[in-house]
């Protein structure tokens, strides 16, 4: 076995394999060093959730897909963490939902943009927005480097999918009247709280479910998709996600640690 390979017998093999993907992403210039910290924060919340996709997250996933399919201009925003973790998934999700892919970074550099574009192309992406300076626009409502967007993508988007996002941009995008879908393991983060649809789950579990759900729902009429959205209340769903962590911790405090650290 190679030095950084993970033994399948390790009790936390899945979690370690996800880490290894990020470390690889860092080595090839895709993930920023800050992305490794962000992942650590996510891991801690995943522990609290039980490292599963809850029914609560599944409801948000269904609503997110309905929203993506109903969008006139839906855009999946790609950062260094998701490019390392789920490149093929993002490309597939763009294909099945009809959304565009745009690279948009918090810690922006030409080198990282190019490294991410390579990873996406290797995963099958044909068209990637956010790379051509001729189409650059600036969104003044956003204060980080993320304010620089592609005119053909995030600038005109009505629906944006921004997994592992920072609160500033989520707030800015919402202020611009865009629908914001996020995946964030931390239900207390500013992004989770501000987004229009919040999927409290690990992006590595959520993206495959978004794809399978999009394959099913894209056959549905617009009216049926709208009904899914009408029946979804993000504030209520998010409150339930926090409550689920609370209940799980209460249960574990009573039954002991047998269920912890699978
Ligand atoms: O590649 P860049 O330069 O665009 O930077 C990307 C990061 C992620 C570094 C940047 O957006 C950032 O600093 O994000 P934050 O503010 O740390 O927020 C990331 C959120 O994602 C946190 O709330 C984490 O709990 C959550 N998170 C981390 N890993 C995962 C996750 N949520 C879902 N799945 C994960 N694997």
> What are the pLDDT digits (tens) for 1-14?
555 677 777 778 78
Q: What band does 50 get if pLDDT is binned at 50, 70 and 90?
A: very high
Is there an atom of ligand 1 within 6 Å of 211 CB?
no
DSSP H or E stretch at residue 148: strand 148-150
Q: What is the dihedral of CA 93, 211, 198, 243, to 10 degrees?
A: -160
Which atom of ligand 1 approaches the CA of 35 most closely? 9
Tell me, in angstroms, the distance from the centre of ligand 1 to residue 140's CA: 22
Q: Apex CA 110: angle with CA 106 and CA 115, to 5°?
A: 90
Which atom of ligand 1 approaches the CA of 189 most closely? 23
Query: Which alpha helices (DSSP H) does the chain contain, by range?
Result: 13-27, 33-49, 55-70, 80-85, 87-97, 110-122, 167-175, 190-194, 203-217, 222-230, 234-255
Alpha-carbon distances, residue 141 vs 73, 98, 170, 188, 243 (angstroms): 20, 27, 10, 22, 32
Question: Which SS3 state, helix, strand or coil, does residue 108 take?
Answer: coil
Question: How would you class 94 by CB atoms within 10 Å of its CB: exposed for 0-12, middle for 13-18, buried for 19 or more?
Answer: buried
Instruction: Please compute the mean of the pLDDT values over residues 40-47 and round it to a whole number.
Output: 96
Q: Is the pLDDT of residue 260 over 90?
A: no
Token couple for 201? 């789950």
Instruction: Please compute the mean of the pLDDT values over residues 105-122 and round it to a whole number.
Output: 97
Which atom of ligand 1 approaches the CA of 18 most closely? 36
Instruction: Please compute the mean of the pLDDT values over residues 185-214 and round it to a whole number.
Output: 97
Tell me, in angstroms, the distance from the centre of ligand 1 to residue 136's CA: 24
Tell me, in angstroms, the distance from the centre of ligand 1 to residue 197's CA: 17
The rounded percent of the chain whose pLDDT value lies above 90 is 84
Is there an atom of ligand 1 within 6 Å of 35 CB?
yes
Is there an atom of ligand 1 within 6 Å of 53 CB?
no
Instruction: Please compute the mean of the pLDDT values over residues 39-65 and round it to a whole number.
Output: 97
Instruction: Please compute the mean of the pLDDT values over residues 221-237 and round it to a whole number.
Output: 98
- CA 99 to CA 93: how far, in whole Å? 8
Which atom of ligand 1 approaches the CA of 80 most closely? 1
Mean pLDDT for all residues in the chain? 93
The per-residue pLDDT for range 72-85, each reduced to its tens digit, is 999 999 999 999 99
Atom 21, ligand 1: which residue's CA is nearest?
164
pLDDT at 177: 94
Instruction: Please compute the mean of the pLDDT values over residues 145-154 and round it to a whole number.
Output: 93
pLDDT at 13: 78
Q: Is the pLDDT of residue 216 over 80?
A: yes
pLDDT at 169: 87
Is there an atom of ligand 1 within 6 Å of 42 CB?
yes
Q: What is the dihedral of CA 53, 68, 239, 207, to 10 degrees?
A: 20
Phi and psi of 137, rounded to 5°? -130, 160
pLDDT at 262: 47
Is there an atom of ligand 1 within 6 Å of 189 CB?
yes
Is there an atom of ligand 1 within 6 Å of 39 CB?
yes
Tell me, in angstroms, the distance from the centre of ligand 1 to residue 1's CA: 31
Alpha-carbon distances, residue 90 vs 9, 56, 135, 207 (angstroms): 29, 22, 22, 7
Question: How would you class 132 by CB atoms within 10 Å of its CB: exposed for 0-12, middle for 13-18, buried for 19 or more?
Answer: exposed
Chain position carrying tokens 């009247």:
177
Q: Is the pLDDT of residue 171 over 80?
A: yes
Characterize the bridge pairing of strands 179-183 and 197-199.
parallel
Instruction: Please compute the mean of the pLDDT values over residues 103-124 and round it to a whole number.
Output: 97
Burial 27-39 (b: 16+ CB within 10 A, else e): eebbbbeebbebb
Question: Which among 54, 78, 64 is positioned nearest to 200, based on CA atoms?
Answer: 54
- CA 195 to CA 65: how far, in whole Å? 15
Is there an atom of ligand 1 within 6 Å of 183 CB?
yes
């Amino acid at each position: 076995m190679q030095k950084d390979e993970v033994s399948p017998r390790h009790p936390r093999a899945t979690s370690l394999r996800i880490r290894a993907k990020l470390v690889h992403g860092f080595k090839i210039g895709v993930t920023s060093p800050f992305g490794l910290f962000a992942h650590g924060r996510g891991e801690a919340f995943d522990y609290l959730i039980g490292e599963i996709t809850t029914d609560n997250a599944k409801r948000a996933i269904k609503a997110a897909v309905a929203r993506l399919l109903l969008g006139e201009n839906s855009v999946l925003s790609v950062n260094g963490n998701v490019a390392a973790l789920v490149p093929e998934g993002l490309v597939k999700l763009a294909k099945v939902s009809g959304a565009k892919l745009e690279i948009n970074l918090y810690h922006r550099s030409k080198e990282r943009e190019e490294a991410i574009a390579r990873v996406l192309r290797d995963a099958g992406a044909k068209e990637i927005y956010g790379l051509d300076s001729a189409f650059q626009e600036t969104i003044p409502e956003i204060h980080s480097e993320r304010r620089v967007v592609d005119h053909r993508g995030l600038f005109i988007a009505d629906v944006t999918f921004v997994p592992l996002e920072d609160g500033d941009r989520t707030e800015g995008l919402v202020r611009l009247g865009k629908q914001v879908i996020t995946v964030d393991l931390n239900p207390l983060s500013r992004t989770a709280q501000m987004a229009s649809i919040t999927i409290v789950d690990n992006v590595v579990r959520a993206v495959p479910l978004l794809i399978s759900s999009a394959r099913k729902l894209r056959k549905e009429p617009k009216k049926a998709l709208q009904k899914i959205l009408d029946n979804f209340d993000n504030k209520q769903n998010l409150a339930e996600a926090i409550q689920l962590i609370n209940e799980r911790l209460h249960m574990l405090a009573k039954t002991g640690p047998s269920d912890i650290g699978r």
